[in-house]
């Protein structure tokens, strides 16, 4: 799963979590021996993959670059 994003530069976001979600995230991170932010990113990747596979996320638009035709 993580290989989907291997060539992308990481982005930072600020999230506000309800206390129960934060508490579980802390417990999960502690159990894994990883930082809360790392486990939060993993959780978000898992959720996005599931949403994409369920068809909840529209496919990315394909863009093409038009080249100027020489006369």
pLDDT 10s digits, 30-46: 999 999 999 999 999 99
Residue-range definition of the domain harbouring residue 66: 16-71
Do 35 and 29 form a contact (C-beta atoms < 8 A)? yes
Contacts 24+ apart (CB under 8 A), 58-62: none
Reading the block at residue 40, the tokens are 């939060």
Q: Domain for residue 22, yes or no?
A: yes
Q: What is the count of structural domains for the chain?
A: 1
Is residue 60 domain-resident?
Answer: yes
Low-confidence ranges of the chain (pLDDT < 50): none
The distance of Cα 42 from the centroid of its chain, to the nearest Å, equals 7
The pairs formed by 13-22 with CB atoms below 8 angstroms and a separation of 24 or more are 15/40
pLDDT attached to residue 62: 74
Is the residue at 10 inside a domain?
Answer: no
Residue 9 lies in a domain: no
Single pTM value for the model: 0.70
């Amino acid at each position: 799963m993580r290989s989907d994003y291997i060539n992308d530069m990481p982005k930072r976001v600020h999230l506000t979590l309800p206390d129960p979600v934060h508490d579980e995230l802390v417990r999960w991170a502690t159990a894994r021996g990883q930082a809360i932010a790392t486990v939060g990113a993993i959780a978000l990747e898992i959720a996005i993959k599931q949403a994409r596979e369920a068809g909840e996320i529209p496919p990315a638009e394909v863009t093409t670059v038009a080249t100027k035709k020489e006369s």
